[in-house]
Amino acid sequence: MNSTNIKSSPFVRKPLKTKTLMFWVILCLLPGLLVQSFHFGIGTLIQVMLASTVAVLSETLVLVLRKRPIWPTISDNSALVTGILIGLALPAYAPWWIALIGTFFAIVVVKHLYGGLGHNIFNPAMAAYVLLLVSFPVTMTSWMPPQSLLVESLSSIDGFSLIFNGFTVDGFSIKQIASIDGHTIATPLDEMKTQLTLGFTSTEISGHEIYSGFAGIGWQWINVAYLAGGLALIYLKVIRWHIPLAFVGTLFVLSLLSAAINPDHSIPVLLQLFSGATMIGAFFILTDPVSAATSNLGRMIYASLVALLVFVIRNYGGYPDAIAFAVLLANMAVPMIDHFTKPRVYGYGEGNSNDN
């Protein structure tokens, strides 16, 4: 005779362990990593491997100093995800010490000085990026043009040599090999913002060859790849849809309004959505479970705030891609957002009066 075990409600879906969650995040980052490496060269892979190694070693060092067990923390893959995100955010051929400084700061200062995973109020990868950008602005904005626009392609040996030595095997620097018709190492967003301030219209600027396609050579397909990985995260229930939808939707509406009001002097809508760090920000950075808001309504408010800040900084600030700044500013508002959007406990405040 077969017996059936019947359990009473409520039924709760078993939450993913941190290790499993981070594993899926890493897996879904791979399409973007591969496309980014295809368009910008082996330097992207080197930066990711370098930052990931420093992240794991830094966390190990801190755990030893804090006399905490090493493997349970290292094996949760959170440090590895931080390292990968930092590596992806860096220019492909930035000097090796840039990844070292940024990753060490993210793990030791932003993460562990606040108490470790679950206690940090800022997104570690974005805090590290802002530190590097403020400290080394020239290096951090020295992006190579896509491989297809280079006069001569870089070999793997040249890539290693540029990162660890500053010059290719033949003795050329990044500036010497990255010039295209007088334009050097500018991303589509950077180029658009600079040329708009010089009085050119967006239509005139879009005629430059780096804007081939709908949002710039290389960058458009990188963002499509991160979009695909992000949708996979939602399908796997690793993240919820509220933050990506609110962020992309708000940025789309603001960009559309701006283009309708002043089309000649606004960043085009598709460039806003599919260039820079828009899609990796929407699905892999804003959705950080520690530094983001916790309720569904809070998540949407948080993401909309980030989108508003990104739009304002891109259009009126001095730096074209503003994901990192916007995320850190919104992180500071998360406690207040959580306070005003926390769900009401069932029955609280209703029928509990003792006045009679």
pLDDT digits (tens, 9 = 90+) for 83-102: 999 999 999 999 999 999 99
Q: Which amino acid is at 348?
A: Y
Angle (deg, nearest 10), helices 96-104 and 124-135: 130
Three-class SS state of 347: coil
Cβ count within 10 A of residue 291:
23
pLDDT at site 338: 93
C-alpha pair distances (Å), 225 with each of 27, 87, 273: 12, 17, 13
Report pTM.
0.88
Dihedrals phi, psi of 183, to nearest 5 degrees:
-100, 125
The H-assigned helical ranges of the chain are 18-40, 43-65, 71-74, 78-89, 96-104, 124-135, 137-140, 156-165, 174-177, 188-197, 202-205, 219-235, 242-261, 269-274, 278-280, 296-316, 323-341
Asked if pLDDT for residue 355 goes beyond 50, the answer is no
Three-class SS state of 121: coil
C-alpha pair distances (Å), 252 with each of 212, 225, 307: 21, 19, 9
- Summarize the confidence of residues 222-226 as an average pLDDT: 96
- Summarize the confidence of residues 187-215 as an average pLDDT: 79
Let me know: does 303 contact 243? Beta carbons within 8 Å. yes
User: Tokens in use for 288?
Assistant: 């950080």
> What does the pLDDT look like over 47-93, one tens digit per residue?
999 999 999 999 999 999 989 999 988 999 999 999 999 999 999 99
pLDDT at site 324: 93
CA distance 121 to 34: 30
Q: Residue 189: which pLDDT band, with cuts at 50, 70 and 90? A: confident
CA distance 302 to 100: 30
pLDDT at site 254: 96
**Lookup result for tokens 């594993």:** 23
Asked if pLDDT for residue 350 goes beyond 70, the answer is no
Three-class SS state of 183: strand
Let me know: does 124 contact 106? Beta carbons within 8 Å. yes
Asked if pLDDT for residue 44 goes beyond 70, the answer is yes
> What does the pLDDT look like over 92-149, one tens digit per residue?
999 999 999 999 999 999 999 988 888 889 999 999 999 999 999 988 888 888 887 7
Which region among 9-18, 43-52, 280-289 has the lowest average model confidence (pLDDT)? Answer: 9-18
pLDDT at site 345: 62
Asked if pLDDT for residue 223 goes beyond 70, the answer is yes
